[in-house]
Each structure stands twice: as structure tokens, then as C-alpha cells.
Amino acid sequence: MFAGSNLEKVLTNGHFAVTGELGPMMGTDLEECLEHAEHNRNHVDAFNITDNQTAVVRLPSLVTAIRLVDRGMDPIMQMTVRDRNRIMLQSDLLGGASCGVKNFLCIQGDHQLLGSEPQAKGVYDLDSTQLMSTIRKIRDENTFIGGGELQAPLDAFIGGVVNPFADPFEYRVDRLEKKIAAGVNFVQTQCIYDMDRLKEYMKRVVDKGLHEKCYILAGITPLKAVGAAMYMKNNVAGIIIPDEIVKRLKGAKNKEGGVKQEGLKIAIEQIQQCREMEGFHGAHVMAIAWEEKVPEIVEGVGGLLPRPKFDD
């Protein structure tokens, strides 16, 4: 056990993990975000806290993660390398850990040009792979990047992301292997819609035995509307939405429950399929601006409730 977070316990005990996602607010009041967390706390094992996602200014993931710890929930603190240099990344790591945060997820972060402050200077002192190796070094060798020793040790369950839908496709499995070499303990995938490509990716992952070296969570985002699907299909780099998904959503317009119900149904089916697929250890449900539907999705999958509980 690296850090003993709830997520780590769920995974190491062989349960199919379920994680949720919370986007901190764009102002000084975190209440809405905390309400989502309370609403979903019995349906997920941990909450991914986004770090100024899509490069839009928000309350810090650090602060939000600490607020969750205070409420007895298990946060996964996202850390992008976009906005902080190695001094601040290491400092925030200490800050989070000192307040009980145990899961740290290393990502590159969407480029600043795509967000609310396109004139910002990107930092990128480290990349996400280097951040993983840095956290491992701090944890396992009790040493900062610069060589100095920590006055008190760090416990960390190190997370990362993988994108089977980005290019070049044939490199993507090697990239996961590289992240494992850098010290990642668990990864979440980018939003899954293209099952054929996912199956091919997971087959290669399993052939290399990578699923035995790192926990892999399937990234699931329910689609709320045809427009949202089309936007992601055409505008978000690294997300593939097959035509059949769009067709299915469109076809549900006149059905009972409409497009939204169909979107939830697709998400439930995707989790079921990933659960059947060799290599996955859990699902990461990213119900963006639709957090209240997480219980319905988790219940819909079947066999996931109640979530395992562990004594501290």
C-alpha cells in the first residue's frame, strides 16, 4: 500500500472501482461542488478534482480536495503541469498530503490557448510523465527534485491519464508502459465512445501485461444532447465519437426519456462492456455538468453497490 487511500484499498482488494469527477467553481463559493460530492458519496470510491480544467480559471483542485478530506471523502487531486513550475508542483503536493490528500493525478492539462486566459504564458517546466517520476522519487526516496530531503515523508498513490483515442495509435500502449516506468499506479482513460478502438488498445495492453502493473479505469462520460456529442466529435482533440453513437442519440429524440435517457443508457452499457473486458479495474464516471446522474448510472450498471467500505 502506497498511501492507503480509499481508492487504493478498493483497487488492491480486487473490487471494480468507481470514481467520480468534480469541477471546482469559477468563483469563491464551493457549495455547489460540495453538494455534488455529498450527492454521490455513496456511489463512488473517490472523486477526481479537476485542476482548472480546459484551462479555465477555477477554485484550485488543492483547496477542493482538502474540503473533501474534511468531509470524509477521498479526493484524487489533479495536477496539471501547465500552470506551475517544479517548486510549486512539489509545494502543492506537500500541501495536499499534509491535509490528508492521498491520490495525485498527473496530467499535462489542456493548452492555455484553449481556455479563458489565452494570453497566459504556459509553464510546462515538467511534463506529466516527469511529474509522475518526481512524485515517486519524493515518496520512495524522500528527496525533492533538487536533492534536498523532506522533513516528513510523503504518501502518494500516483495517478495519470491515457488516451487510446489520440494518435499515433500504435504508440499509445508504449506510452502507458512508459508512464508505468515513471511510477504511475493507476490511470484513467480519456472518454470512451469508440469501442472497437478501445478493444484493440486493451488487447495490446493485456498482451504486454501492463494491466498487471497498473490499475486502469475506463473513462465514461454520458452524452446529454446531440449537440454536445457533435461538439466533442468535431472540436475536442483526442476524443472519437463514432457516427453510430450520434445516430443512436438522434434516434432517441421521440422515445420516452428522449436523448438524455439514451445518453445515460449508452454510458451504462459502456461501463458494463468495460467491466467484461480484460484489463480494466474500474470506471471513472465524468458526468460533466450532470453530476446528479451518477447514482443512476452506477445503479444501472448492476452489481456495483453498495461500494466497499474499509476500516481506517
> According to CB under 8 A, which one of 130, 142, 143, 273 is a site residue for other proteins?
130
Identify which of residues 99 and 114 has a Cβ nearer to other proteins in the complex.
Answer: 114
Residue 23 CA to residue 218 CA, distance in Å, equals: 19
Residues 84-123 that bind other proteins (CB under 8 A): 86, 108, 110-111, 113-114, 122
Q: Nearest-CA neighbor of 237 among 110, 82, 73, 128?
A: 110
Single-letter residue type at 276:
E
Identify which of residues 184 and 245 has a Cβ nearer to other proteins in the complex.
Answer: 184
DSSP structural state of residue 186: E
Q: Nearest-CA neighbor of 136 among 156, 113, 109, 165?
A: 156
| Rounded (10°) angle between helices 31-40 and 61-70 | 50
> According to CB under 8 A, which one of 69, 88, 120, 145 is a site residue for other proteins?
145
For the CB of residue 29, give the shortest distance to other proteins in the complex, in Å.
Answer: 31
* Bridge partners (DSSP) listed for residue 188: 161, 217
124 with 70: CB under 8 angstroms? no
Q: Can you list the positions of beta strands (E) in the chain?
A: 17-22, 46-49, 75-80, 103-107, 157-162, 186-189, 215-220, 282-285
Binding mask 223-262 for other proteins (x = CB under 8 A): --------------xx------------------------
Q: Grid coordinates 472497437 are at which residue? A: 196
Q: Nearest-CA neighbor of 176 among 152, 141, 210?
A: 210
For the CB of residue 20, give the shortest distance to other proteins in the complex, in Å.
Answer: 20
Size of the site for other proteins (CB under 8 A): 35
Residue 85 CA to residue 312 CA, distance in Å, equals: 34
Judged by DSSP in three states, 18 sits in: strand
> According to CB under 8 A, which one of 171, 231, 257, 305 is a site residue for other proteins?
171
Neighbour-count burial of 39, counting CB atoms closer than 10 A to its CB (0-12 exposed, 13-18 middle, 19+ buried): middle
Assess 177 for contact with other proteins (CB under 8 A): yes
Binding mask 183-222 for other proteins (x = CB under 8 A): -------x--------------------------------
Identify which of residues 161 and 223 has a Cβ nearer to other proteins in the complex.
Answer: 161
50 with 25: CB under 8 angstroms? no
Q: Nearest-CA neighbor of 23 among 71, 56, 69?
A: 56
Assess 275 for contact with other proteins (CB under 8 A): no
Assess 167 for contact with other proteins (CB under 8 A): yes
Q: Which stretch binds other proteins (CB under 8 A): 9-17, 38-46, 90-98, 177-185?
A: 177-185
> According to CB under 8 A, which one of 178, 253, 255, 309 is a site residue for other proteins?
178
Q: Which stretch binds other proteins (CB under 8 A): 31-39, 41-49, 96-104, 158-166?
A: 158-166
For the CB of residue 11, give the shortest distance to other proteins in the complex, in Å.
Answer: 22
Q: Grid coordinates 435517457 are at which residue? A: 261
For the CB of residue 246, give the shortest distance to other proteins in the complex, in Å.
Answer: 18
Assess 142 for contact with other proteins (CB under 8 A): no
Identify which of residues 5 and 129 has a Cβ nearer to other proteins in the complex.
Answer: 129
Assess 26 for contact with other proteins (CB under 8 A): no
Name the residues that contact other proteins, by CB under 8 A.
81-82, 86, 108, 110-111, 113-114, 122, 124-130, 133-134, 145, 161-163, 166-168, 171, 174-175, 177-178, 181-182, 190, 237-238
